[in-house]
A = this chain, B = another copy of it.
Amino acid sequence: MNERLKLYSYWRSSAAYRVRIGLNLKGLSYDIEPVHLVRDGGEQHMPDFREANPQGLVPVLRHGSRVFRQSLAILEYLEEAWPTPALLPGEARDRARVRALAQAVACEIHPLNNLRVLQHLEHEMGVDADGREAWVRHWVEDGFEAIEAMLVDHPSTGRFCEGDAPGLADCCLVPQVYNARRFKVDMAPYPTIERIEAACLALPAFDAARPERQPDAPSPA
């Protein structure tokens, strides 16, 4: 377990952002290997990176000689390899709730709105910028409406998605809100999501993981 961790990341990738938060919450130190998803047609399509991940997607985590793919699988790996502090609660039924919230982002919203899908809409289907923004907003709003309903008034919801400690669901929710703001989604209908986002971003683990804090983020103009 003493082998160095290396994260293949892109500053604005919300899936990489999830893993950065998880690594920070666990207090693990790691190197960032930036993969520029746009420059030169996308470094994720280069043969070197494809060997690490045939999916051509970030994040990828290297731990010694092992390569880990898919952000939720990486977060579960961190949880199993470094159990404390926990990202999941102790009871199976509560763990299921947290995973369902995480997947409400990672399986229902984000896959529809990531870069490769927006590029496909533009280049293969001729959808213009307005149409692409409407697409993104539709799926974010549809997903956030459901997540807000799953959070508000639920007895397990606390300062964070589950109780008063940040966990797996928060790792997914905060990057998705970042993405929503980028696409000018009106957050007013989702007060519980906004409240939890604010509580998270007040923590150093979340703050340090922000896109604009990454070594590959462009300098402010």
Contacts and interface: CB of A to CB of B under 8 A. Distances in A.
Interface of A: 53-57, 63, 66, 68-70, 72-74, 76-77, 80-81, 92-93, 95-97, 99-100, 102-104, 106-108, 110-112, 117, 120, 124-125, 127, 131, 135, 138, 143, 145-146, 149-150
A181 to B, nearest CB: 22
Contacts of A138: 120, 124
Task: Report which residue of A55, A69, A143 has the largest number of chain B beta carbons within 10 angstroms of its beta carbon.
Answer: A55
Nearest to A79: B92
A183 B110 CA distance: 24
A79 to B, nearest CB: 9
Contact of A69 (B72, B100, B112, B124): B100
13 contacts: A53-B146, A54-B149, A54-B150, A68-B93, A73-B100, A77-B92, A77-B95, A80-B92, A81-B92, A112-B117, A125-B127, A125-B131, A125-B135
A135 B135 CA distance: 15
A120 B136 CA distance: 12
Contacts of A108: 55, 57, 111
Contacts of A76: 95-96, 99
A80 B54 contact: no
Contacts of A81: 92
B66 A100 contact: no
A92 to B, nearest CB: 4
Contacts of A106: 103, 107
B112 A56 contact: no
Given A55-B146, A70-B104, A125-B135, 12 more contacts: A69-B104, A73-B96, A73-B100, A80-B92, A80-B95, A107-B107, A107-B110, A111-B111, A112-B117, A120-B138, A124-B138, A125-B131
Nearest to A60: B100
Contacts of A103: 70, 72-73, 106
